[in-house]
Amino acid sequence: MRVTTVLMLMMISMMTTAQQKLSLEAIYKNGEYRTQSVPNFRFMNDGQHYSNLTRQGIEKFDIITGESVGILFNAVEAELRNQIQGYSFSKNEDKILMKFESEPVYRHSDRAYYFLYDIERGTFFPVSDKKISNATFSPDGSKVGYTADNNLFWFDCEAQKEHQITTDGKVNEIINGMSDWVYEEELAFTKAFFWSPDGKKIAYYRFDESEVKEMIMDLHNDNLYPEWQRFKYPKVGEKNADVTIKVYDIASQQNITAKHNLTDDFYVARVKWTKDANWFTLSTLNRLQNELTLLKIDAQTGDFSPLLTETSETYVDVHDDLYFLDNGKYFFWTSERDGFNHIYWYGIDGKLQKQLTKGDYDVTRVYGYDKKTEKIIFQAAKKSPLKREVYAVDMKGNVEEIAANEGWNEAQFSKTKDFYVLKNSTANSPLEVRVMNRDQKEVRILETNDRLKSKIKDMPLSKTEFLTIPNAGYDLNALMMKPADFDANKKYPVLMYVYGGPGSQTVQDKWPTRHYWFFQYLTQQGFIIVSVDNRGTGARGADFKKMTYLKLGDLETQDQIAAAKYLGNLDYVDDSKIGIFGWSYGGYMSTLCILKGAKVFNTALAVAPVTNWKWYDTIYTERFMRTEKNNEKGYKENSPVYFADLLEGNYFLAHGMADDNVHFQHSIEMADALIKSNKQFDTYFYPNRNHGMNSLAAQLHLFTKMSNFLNENLK
């Protein structure tokens, strides 16, 4: 009887242990380890309440107690439960704009049905009878601007009437009020129209892309013939869309065109109104992107005057840290001119008043201006490139700490700045979200991810460790994940994960989201995971970030190879079994590494890699490499397709066939180069999938393939 009991206990223990192991199905199919945040959270105007999407609809809560004080829109009664995908308030919060049935256009843009709800009247009606994009309230809340069919419209909320501003929009020719592909991807905005502060005018972009060359993607959906999707995509050295900025006056129904300082190829990187409805600003960039000028534009005449100019021997980064004060006399701006990104205070005439932050650290985000304390609130990597804290600086340059918990801190402030939501995590502790007051005291907890913590509490998971790896006079930041049952007397295979692109970071003391559970799964398979931030990555100042200029892939590859050699000298690493994995720029890096580091890397996995810079887009590539014509050496020496003959190890190549960003062309050409060199490799293509493999089925399939490939070739 006793033996039977012992055997049963042993079996139960074994079953429990088995249940604790991760599976790819649980990660990618079931989403069992997702981190919870607080999506659709909105501070309300009074600073004492917030709204959120709940099962009931859009609900209002007391910021201090967390108790519901009313339902602003009852989705249950409207038979729209769980169907609202996003919402926004008019300025005085008497109307709500809601999004339904969204569908993607490209990676960041979408179109959807929008409905407007008048809270006081209880009326609920569509803004348009078709799917539209970028629906946005005017500042006075009386109108909604939006784009559809490449044209710009405004909707009268009182009369419930649509008004068309432009009529010349045409697919693959003219776009009004919405970004073209390359602006969306590389200048990071999709809505290309902007209401004046009084809601009487709209400044908007007009893209003429009629002379931009087309890309064609095959979509396969069980039809007799594949569907061809055509879109304009300017590649290196080719023609960009011609861009003009116009201002439409609602009352007169007239347009004026903004004048500017550039005549040759150029970009308008940002448009922003001042606090005065008669003036707005343009941030213009020359095509080389080494000179950025902030222009002040007269909204009546289109005339301009320069406010400031940023220049660089390499490139000038575009940012969103331009803030105008309500008094109309001053604005704030960030710049890397002293070697690190810092905050500068200007008069509205463009005269510099003072550099407000200083030191060997980067300001990473500006949250805005606190009127009560007359301080600017910002996020910075002040203590370490791996971490982020929240600070405030006054007009004398005195900096005070607001939130500096261990790891990563980011904040969302109420309009009055009396309260803020603080998000904090570390590499080994999931996200926690708290409401804090002006005195930095905790008011209440919004999310602690206790469900996830409980689920993983008894799992044999790896702890993330940080280390530095020396190379070329620099200490490169790195992280390592060892198997939970790590034995220093054993030899382990290593998989390095790389991204490595300009200004990026994979080594951060924050709860990771991308590939983390795949890496935990691999540690349970007996792999050590390592990631190294090479030269060119972010939060270490401009010089460190920009030293890869004109030679992308060169220094980065040297650093990854050196890091692999360093790891190979550790007693517990099998130096014959070091692999590397990357996606997009990381796939470019992993491919270069196994080719140029053939004696070091045994295996490489590349998903959606750039394989020749001449096939990528104008804005991104030329920012860092200029054109192939004036940097032939940089392109030739750092594009993987030219080094296919160097392959010695195991190479895995995967790509989505509907990738509008890094085109399938990159992997086709890479495969062809490998075939011509008689090099064996494994390749997988994913029909109708985009750059991020946009389906759970594709992700499960891909990570299963990669796991099998690693177990067959790297262990």
Please provide the DSSP assignment of 594-649 as one string: HHHTTTT-SEEEEES----GGGSBHHHHHHHH--TTT-HHHHHHT-GGGGGGG--S
pLDDT at 101: 97
- Residue 580 and residue 334: Cα distance in Å, rounded? 36
Q: What is the DSSP letter of 651?
A: E
- If you compute the radius of gyration of the chain from its CA atoms, what whole number of angstroms results? 27
pLDDT at 16: 43
pLDDT at 262: 84
CB 92 within 8 A of CB 45: yes
Please choose, from the candidates 43, 34, 115, 118, the residue with its C-alpha nearest in 3D space to the C-alpha of residue 79. Answer: 115
How far, in whole angstroms, is CA 422 from its chain's centroid? 20
Please report where in the chains the tokens 């594009």 appear, as a residue.
Answer: 639
Q: What is the DSSP letter of 178?
A: B
- Residue 493 and residue 656: Cα distance in Å, rounded? 29
- Residue 436 and residue 432: Cα distance in Å, rounded? 12
- How many Cα atoms sit within 13 Å of 88 on the Cβ side? 12
- Residue 564 and residue 579: Cα distance in Å, rounded? 9
- Residue 343 and residue 365: Cα distance in Å, rounded? 10
Q: Domain coordinates of the chain in residue numbers?
A: 1-32, 463-713
CB 165 within 8 A of CB 150: no
Q: Catalogue the E-assigned strands of 384-525.
A: 389-394, 399-403, 408-413, 419-426, 429-437, 442-447, 464-471, 474-481, 492-498
- Residue 567 and residue 19: Cα distance in Å, rounded? 32
Helix (H) or strand (E) holding 2: helix 2-20
- Residue 536 and residue 30: Cα distance in Å, rounded? 37
CB 362 within 8 A of CB 378: no
pLDDT at 498: 98
Please choose, from the candidates 205, 323, 301, 186, the residue with its C-alpha nearest in 3D space to the C-alpha of residue 254. Answer: 301
In our burial notation (b when 16+ CB lie closer than 10 A, e otherwise), range 566-594 reads: bbeeeeebbeebbbbbbbbbbbbbbbbbb
DSSP 58-119: EEEEETTT--EEEEEEETTTTT-TTT--EEEE-TTSSEEEEEEEEEESSSS-EEEEEEEEET
Task: Please list the alpha-helical segments (H only) found in 126-190.
Answer: 181-186
Tokens of 119: 């809270």
Exposed / middle / buried, residue 500 (Cβ in 10 Å: 0-12, 13-18, 19+): buried
CB 167 within 8 A of CB 206: no
Q: What is the DSSP letter of 504?
A: -
The one-letter code for the residue type at 272 is: K
DSSP 187-207: S---B-EEE-TTSSEEEEEEE
Please choose, from the candidates 421, 312, 408, the residue with its C-alpha nearest in 3D space to the C-alpha of residue 44. Answer: 421
- Residue 462 and residue 480: Cα distance in Å, rounded? 9
3-state secondary structure of 11: helix
Beta-strand pair 174-176/201-208: antiparallel
- Residue 526 and residue 484: Cα distance in Å, rounded? 9
CATH second-level architecture of 463-713?
3-Layer(aba) Sandwich (3.40)
- Residue 313 and residue 330: Cα distance in Å, rounded? 29
Tokens of 323: 């803030």
Task: Please list the alpha-helical segments (H only) found in 107-177.
Answer: none
In the sheet where 330-335 sits, what is the strand order? 323-324, 330-335, 342-347, 352-355
pLDDT at 459: 94
Tokens of 412: 């969302």
- How many Cα atoms sit within 13 Å of 621 on the Cβ side? 27
Give pLDDT < 50 ranges for the chain. 1-19
